[in-house]
């Protein structure tokens, strides 16, 4: 099991295009990957490979999420998704 916690700094959070980028990357891994919006509801998680699940978390700019993965490529999955979030998921990073 691997996990990381990160604040979303891109303007749209995990909505629309950034969410699609995140989900597409997650589907490239074999591990079970979960996302939790710690800012809104720390008890509710969603499958990172589900567009509707990720959108349903309501992750906005400034929210903190936890990404966790369990499986053979868990460490790589968490590291890759964290790097993508840090890079803005295709959007310019805002303050």
Q: Can 63 be counted among the known catalytic residues?
A: no
- Alpha carbon separation from 46 to 42, 57, 68, 91 (Å, rounded): 11, 7, 10, 23
Catalytic pick among 15, 61, 66, 79:
15
Structure token digits, residue 28: 């490239």
Alpha carbons 67 and 57: distance in angstroms, whole number: 13
| Active site residue ranges | 15
């Amino acid at each position: 099991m691997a996990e990381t916690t990160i604040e979303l700094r891109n303007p749209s959070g995990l909505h629309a295009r950034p969410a699609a980028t995140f989900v597409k990357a997650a589907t490239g891994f074999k591990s079970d990957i979960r996302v939790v919006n710690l800012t809104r509801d720390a008890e509710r998680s969603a499958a990172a490979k589900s567009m509707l699940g990720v959108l349903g978390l309501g992750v906005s700019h400034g929210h903190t999420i936890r990404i966790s993965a369990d499986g053979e490529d868990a460490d790589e999955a968490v590291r890759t998704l964290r790097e993508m979030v840090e890079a803005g998921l295709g959007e310019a990073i805002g303050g």
